Structure 1
């Protein structure tokens, strides 16, 4: 019997969440938004901390992640019997709403999973809600275990104004790439192999439609899938370097020809009937279930659904990512939400030990054993050939080696998540045309960059 207490919360009331956005811009606990630098020496001595109830909030609700997280929590409590984990688990969309409320309370959780970029992590840092973690990175070796590019995604300036700054505020447990899951038998029946370019994907969907198949099971009710779809297409059209510069605010515009072309491609898929009918009213889970039952040739989503799709289709499911016009791997992704320590936690050493336990090399093997992709693949890891696990490991390694993983597009500005998810629903639904869609993205982006100066 586990001592982990599991809580599930409903979505927060919209008005309360709106209130918190204002709170995130208000002074933090010490009278300013910037969190105070830690003053106590950090320690790995957890056993002498006395009885501790560690409050942990995460969004590990998908397939194999449920099993892995429960196993890791149980093992941590066995190692440290003085610690009881009080776990709250939410879907990604619910966590985005409820976490803002929780962090503004007088008794916030000790450990949370925070979405990277300006909308969430940046707002929390600016409000003084997260504890800097550079000292723990040195203590546990995170600064050498993780690639520098991934550490930067979890970093901000200490005031929260500049993403990819010098202060680390979290580390991630899972690696992620968004790509195309395909039904091997259906693809073979069309005389085709796994697509690796946007042109090949488009041609395969046209062939499927001509044979009466649903080309792509896709549901955008949850909104975030729209970010993934546009991210995949934009990276394939523009190439990873250009999109990275755009998301990071270094150069480019969302109205550039490549972004407009990507929007035109997405709109065409919807207009030509390549996607699940009524896609904006279909949940991601329902679309994935349709694909898992053999109801579509493709589905577009991330590696976090490896285990559910493996369970559904066995050896009949494969995974591919696309290359850009220059032949280099390019797709959206990077890593899962960052595990962070809240600034009001009374047990930061225990919190850091927990984060290390669920993200380190030993945890990576637990993740692999339960059908998940760890942020850092163990040296020598080679899954059985021609399996979904092999496809995913190969694509992850290729894109990482080529520096072809583009950060999720909603990291771009504090309001970009709402802007791009609303825009994608309107684009897929035919309420706006591609030019209007990219214009709305650029308006948000330009206003943010202007205020940054």
Structure 2
């Protein structure tokens, strides 16, 4: 998801966010008949001295790239950078396969178990995908390339933790480097400025003001929060936003990274779950939100249906095209900034790629300083050199300001679906039940606690 796509995210969609963002049912997908078994352990790393960084001297190479950068600004920056890469290295041909976040998740596991996987793939940071792929030895550790290219100077540790795992895939947030992200992500509150004006409201500066604005919007016949939760993960972003106003950030981080030392069944989490259930009960999400798709929801918001949309920075470029100055973006309001976020889906090199040096040169190219400028030009949020970019006033500047604020104050907390290999499915389904009134807040949290405790107690 900095999800999802994550997009969880499409967070990077998006995740992503996202994250974003992540369908853990994929973790149970079986290998296709005839596919080769995954390696038992991560492939050995070359020394930094053995890495070939002169991509022009690698001979004729074809790199197959799988990404999920399908939306406007995302697709445009990839097209621009890929063309520039091929112009600089005419000996390297890029074969790009671009899929939606969900389609990529559905097909990636099967592709990695085959004999001829793509060279470079975008893989959701969380345990269900990247963690599982690391454990199966299907991704190449990038530390030698990071040393050769200076990637650890490009990204701070606060970013690198989102793409780091121990070689056995058990520990998330430290160990070897397995991916390179392009974009930063933060989930906040998008709003329709014209509708706020009509309602006599201003962008909320406190959580209480936000809650009151939802009530006023509902009373006026508006949809207070536009939400499409058919795919379950969008509700994770909404819950994470509410949770951040009730639960200490360090506890959310412990839970999100699937570490020991925290619990879901606390008074603070209960308060967050209760507020979310109350919002649903009051009709703040409109009719049929659990059956509406994610894209349909944010596109409806862009057309004027809804006062607020809880979503990630990956949506801003496309929404600004249709809403212009009516689009606004703020962090979840409160005295201390806390927001879900991380990196967009990182680019990784597969263990079976026959061209790892060329693949590493590609990763370096799409994340260098010029690439960060290209991302900015296309309305996206670069994960590096953010403070060096020049952006106009409006939604994009709001996005840059929000990201800088929350990262500088250590308020960025991980996407919750990272927690365990099965947590995206567990949390997504449990949230649908909570929002539909089929589960009480204590029942909802008990479901999460069972999955979380089972994992942390057996993960070693």
Per the alignment, residue 331 of structure 2 pairs with 321
C-alpha distance in structure 1 between counterparts of 2:390 and 2:111, whole Å: 41
Residue 130 of structure 1 and its aligned partner are, at CA, apart by 0.4
Structure 2 residue 423 is the aligned partner of structure 1 residue 412: no
| Cα deviations by residue, 1:383-407 (Å, 9 ceiling, x for unpaired) | 233x001111110100010111111
1:452 deviates by 1.6
Which stretch shows the higher mean deviation, 219-228 or 376-385? 376-385
**Cα deviation code 1:47-99 (max 9, x no counterpart):** 12111110111111222101111111111111111111111112222222211
Contact 1:51 1:82 in 2 (8 A): yes
CA–CA distance in structure 2, aligned partners of residues 395 and 312 of structure 1: 22
Q: Are 1:340 and 2:345 counterparts?
A: no
Query: Map of 1:238-249 to 2, 5 A cutoff?
Result: 238-248=247-257, 249=259
Displacement of 1:276 in angstroms is 2.7
2:384 to 376, 401, 407: 376
The structural deviation recorded for 1:114 is 1.0
| Pairwise CA distance, 1:212 | 1.1
Choose the corresponding residue for 2:83, options 68, 74, 96: 74
Q: Check 1:17–1:50 CA distance in 2 against 1; reply closer, same or farther (3 A cut).
A: farther
SS in 1 for 2:50: coil
RMSD: 2.1
Q: In structure 2, how many angstroms separate the alpha carbons of the residues matched to 1:175 and 1:134?
A: 21
Q: Per the alignment, in what secondary structure is the counterpart of residue 300 of structure 1? A: strand
The reply on whether 1:397 has 2:404 as its aligned counterpart is: yes
1:174-198 Cα offsets, whole Å, 9 max, x none, are: 0100111101111122222212433
Once the two structures are superposed, residues 265-314 of structure 1 have per-residue CA deviations (whole angstroms, 9 ceiling, x without a partner) of 11111111110311111111111111111111111110001111100100
SS in 2 for 1:319: strand
How far does residue 17 in structure 1 lie from its aligned partner after superposition? 5.8
d(CA) in 1 for partners of 2:27, 2:242: 35
Is the Cα contact below 8 Å between 1:64 and 1:308 reproduced in 2?
yes
Relative to structure 1, is the Cα distance of residues 104 and 27 closer, same or farther in structure 2, using a 3 angstrom cutoff? closer
Partner of 1:9: none
Q: Judging changes above 3 Å, is the alpha-carbon distance between structure 1 residues 192 and 398 closer, same or farther for their aligned structure 2 residues?
A: same
Partner of 2:280: 270
**1:119 partnered with 2:113:** no
- Kindly tell me: are residues 332 and 378 of structure 1, through their superposed partners in 2, closer, same or farther at Cα, counting changes over 3 Å? closer
C-alpha separation between the residues in 1 aligned to 2:368 and 2:278?
A: 43
What is the SS of the residue equivalent to 1:137? helix
Structure having greater relative contact order (Cα 8 Å, sep ≥ 6)? 2
CA contact (8 A) 1:16 1:101 kept: no
Give the gaps of 5 or more residues in structure 1.
1-11
| Partner Cα separation in structure 2 for residue 414 and residue 252 of structure 1 | 18
The residue number in structure 1 matching 2:43 is 35
Shift of 1:447: 0.3
- In structure 2, C-alpha distance between the alignment counterparts of 1:161 and 1:213, rounded to whole Å: 46
Over 3 Å counting, the alpha-carbon distance change for 1:16 and 1:432 in structure 2 is: closer
Residue 20 of structure 2 aligns with which residue? Answer: none
| In structure 1, C-alpha distance between the alignment counterparts of 2:127 and 2:172, rounded to whole Å | 7
The SS at the match of 1:217 is coil
Residue-by-residue CA offset, 1:233-277 (whole Å, 9 max, x unaligned): 111211322211222314210111111211111111111111031
In 1, Cα distance between the equivalents of 2:367 and 2:231?
Answer: 27
Shift of 1:323: 4.3
Give the 5 Å matches for 1:7-406: 18-20=29-31, 28-29=38-39, 32-38=40-46, 41-248=50-257, 249-324=259-334, 327-385=335-393, 387-406=394-413
Counterpart-to-counterpart distance in 2, 1:265 and 1:136 = 46
Q: Distance in 2 between matches of 1:96 and 1:353?
A: 25
For residues 226 and 246 of structure 1, do their structure 2 counterparts lie closer, same or farther at Cα, with a shift above 3 Å needed? same
Give the conservation status (yes or no) of the 8 Å contact 1:38–1:132.
no
The answer to whether 1:440 aligns with 2:447 is yes
TM-score normalised by L of structure 2 = 0.90
For the residue of structure 2 that corresponds to 1:171, the secondary structure is coil
From the superposition, tell whether residues 140 and 133 of structure 1 become closer, same or farther in structure 2 (CA, over 3 Å). same
Contact map agreement 2:38 2:113 (CA 8 A) in 1:
no
